[in-house]
Structure 1
Amino acid sequence: MKIQLALDRMEIAEAIEMTRQVEESIDWIEVGTSLIKEFGVSSIKEIRQAFPNKQIVADIKTIDNARYEFDLCFESGADVATVMGVSPLVTIDTCMEVANRYQKKVMIDLLNTSDEQKRELRKYKDAIFCEHVSKDQQEELGSQNQGISESAFSGFQIAAAGGIKLDSIQELAQSLNPAVVIIGSAITKANHPSKAAAQFKQLINQMGGK
């Protein structure tokens, strides 16, 4: 199980400094939607330059204009880029095509997708599917990702995101068996981020994650 560090609502220099503190304990680096919106693809380029040996996820949350946006992400150094599962299938088809051309990956964000949409999305065998409790749900309603008890994508590569904390990760692992856990504020807003990240890594290793 990989740890994806979500970097949001900060300056690029802060994001790089934060990642340096926890680099040994995390596997993938997510250039968050807010970073991309505020600073553009420079945020992807600078983080790629700072961490050339890490997997970089551009959380661009594409919903249209897929070819242009995914070209931007991959040309800027991303290994994975995200598209919303509620997008038209032609958009997701295009994301998969562009990713295949660059030999990169697509993460499909399942936020607010219907059961019917999930059935349609199962054709994307090479995608990573992200079970996602939104920031607004977390902040306004107090929802967290341990509320997701099962996934329609069992047997696929799954990522989990949304308010993941140290005391919820074991239950999440048992219910979803994610390949990737996306952790943001539990690390980035901790009093000692390096210690928090190390605790997550240690727990995952104890559970048999690699």
Structure 2
Amino acid sequence: MELQVALDCKDLSEALAVMKEIYPYVDIAELGTPLMYNEGTRAVREMKKAFPDVKVLADMKLLDGGYDIAKIAYEEGADIVTVAGVTNNSVIARAVEAAREFGKECFVDLISVDDIVQRAEEVDALGADCIGVHTSHDTIEGGNQAPTKDLSRIKVVIKRARTSISGGIKAEFIDDIVSFGPDVVIVGSGIMQAEDKRGTAKLIYEAIHG
């Protein structure tokens, strides 16, 4: 099980500062979609240069140009690139092709997918390395909003890909989340908005790694 920290900020300088604060209590540094839009793939390059032993995920949520855009991110040092599960199969297949070419990973995010069980089975067959269930930031209202039921449902049909869970995960919920057995636990605001980011990351990291 790994801890992925979603660096959901707009500026690379802030993302790097947070990483310096929480390191080494992070397995995967997620360069959030706002950061990727604002800073571009430069953010990938600089993050990998600063933290070469941490996996860097470019949260691009690709809908088109699966091979070409993923290739750009991999060339800049990304270890993982995300593709939106709502896109068509050819985009996912091409992104997987790029991942294989570079020896990297393709992550499919099931956010906004209507039938997540069917889609999880389909993208697993397409070769996705990790499939994630995700409660949208815009729909989180408080309490434990992590999609644990959805995680349990997709784990039944997935044969090869790893699974991840994200959405409103905080330190106080981490033991419950871990009990559902995701391969990757993604925490964003639960760390980014914490008063003691390092202490919170350490607590969650140690719960995940046992």
Structure 1 and Structure 2 fold alike (TM over 0.5): yes
Cα drift, residue 72 of structure 1: 1.2
CA distance in 1, matches of 2:33, 2:194: 21
* One-letter amino acid of the structure 2 residue matched with residue 163 of structure 1: G
Q: TM-score, normalised by structure 1?
A: 0.90
1:168 correspondence with 2:158: no
1:78 match: secondary structure: coil
- For 2:92, the equivalent position in structure 1 comes to 92
CA distance in 2, matches of 1:153, 1:122: 11
The percent of aligned pairs where both chains have the same amino acid is 29
Cα drift, residue 117 of structure 1: 2.6
CA distance in 2, matches of 1:114, 1:123: 18
What does the per-residue CA deviation read over 1:100-123, in whole Å, with 9 as the maximum and x for residues that have no partner?
A: 000100000011223343332231
Cα drift, residue 147 of structure 1: 4.9
2:155 match: secondary structure: coil
CA distance in 2, matches of 1:47, 1:118: 30
Aligned residues: 204
RMSD of aligned alpha carbons: 1.8
| Residue segments in structure 1 that go unaligned for 5+ positions in a row | none
CA distance in 2, matches of 1:153, 1:64: 27
- For 1:195, the equivalent position in structure 2 comes to 199
Cα drift, residue 142 of structure 1: 7.1
Q: TM-score, normalised by structure 2?
A: 0.90
* One-letter amino acid of the structure 1 residue matched with residue 205 of structure 2: K
Q: 1:147 to 1:53 in 2, by over 3 A?
A: closer
Following superposition of structure 1 onto structure 2, how do residues 108-147 of structure 1 map, counting pairs within 5 Å? 108-115=108-115, 116-138=118-140, 144-147=145-148
- 8 Å CA contact retained: 1:57, 1:78: yes
2:198 match: secondary structure: helix
| Residue segments in structure 2 that go unaligned for 5+ positions in a row | none
Following superposition of structure 1 onto structure 2, how do residues 32-47 of structure 1 map, counting pairs within 5 Å? 32-47=32-47
What does the per-residue CA deviation read over 1:45-86, in whole Å, with 9 as the maximum and x for residues that have no partner?
A: 111111111100000000111122101110111000000111
